Structure 1
Amino acid sequence: MEAQKPMRLSRPSTSFRLRSASLNAVRLRRIFDLFDHNGDGEITVEELALALDRLGLGADPSDLIFTVESYIQPGKKGLAFEDFEALHSALGDALFGPAKDGGEEEKEDGEMEEAFKVFDEDGDGFISEAELQAVLAKLGLVEGRSMARVHEMICSVDRNHDGRVDFNEFKGMMRSISLKSA
C-alpha cells in the first residue's frame, strides 16, 4: 500500500484570517484548544505537528521549530494563547498583507462561506451529520466518535428541522458564538 503524502496548500485560503475580529478571536481560541492536545495551556512544536498531520497538512518539525521558536516565551515549552495569536497575525500579514479594519458584512459572509465549505464536504449546500462527524474525527475530537453527539449538535443549530445545517443556520450559529464571546 502506497504511503499517503501530506496535503500541501497551493495558495493560502482566504479564510485564514477573518476580517471580523470577534469571529477571528473565537476561532483562534478554538483552534488553540484543539491543538493543545494535553490541555496545559501551551502548544508545543510536537502538538502543532500532530494537529497539522491530522488535518492532512503534515509539516517538518524542524521547519515548525524555525517558524515558532521566536514566539515561545523564555522558560516556556510551547506557545501560550497570546503567542499563538501573535504567530497567527504575523503569518497572516506575511501571506495577505496587514489586516484591514472594517467589519463589512459582505466580507464577513464570504469568509463564513469559506468556513462552511470546510464542513460541507460534498458541496451540496448543507452540513449533514456524516459530514460533521467526518470533520470532527479528522480534528481528533471526541465528539466525532459518537453519532448521537453529532446528532445533538446538528439539532441545536437546525432551525427548520430538516436534519441538516444550511448556510444561514451556520451563519446564525457563528454570529451567536461571536456575540457570546464579546
Structure 2
Amino acid sequence: MSLLTPIELQKIFEKMDINGDGFVSIEELNWLLQNIGFNFSLEEVESIMEKKNLDMSEFLFFYNSISKQNNGDDESRSNGGDENNIHDLVETFKVFDMNGDGFISSQELECVLKRLGLWNGKDCRSMICFYDTNFDGQLDFEEFKNMMLLNIS
C-alpha cells in the first residue's frame, strides 16, 4: 500500500516538475525519495528507473514499486500475497476497462485518469503505445499487468 495518495503524488510531481515539461529527473526523484525516508544513491535510482526522467504515470508506478519493497510486501507474497495481488490487478483492470471488452483504450484510460484527478492533459495514446506490445492500440490484461509490475522488456 502506498504511503501517499495518488492526489498527493500528483501535487508532488507538479511541484518537482519546475520547468513544466511533464517529467521529473533522476536528481529530483532522488531528492524526493530521500526526503520521505527512502535512502538510495543516485546510481541506484538511475538503475531502478532505467531512464533519465519519468512522466506522471511512470512516477506513480515507480513510487508504488518502491513503497511495496520498503513495506515488506515480499513477506506477504510468501504468505499467499500473489493471489491477492493478481485479484487486485484484475479488479483494477476492470476499472479501466469501462466497456468490459477485455481491453483498455486510450479513451478509457483518459476517462478514468480524469475521474481520479490524475490526468495531466497529455494524449493517453502515447501512454498506451509505450506498453502495447502487440501494437493493436489498446492494452489487454497481460500488457496491463506488465505495465503495473514494470516488467516491460
TM-score (norm 2): 0.49
Bigger relative contact order, structure 1 or 2, given CA contacts below 8 A and separation 6+?
1
Larger gyration radius, structure 1 or structure 2: 1
TM-score (norm 1): 0.42
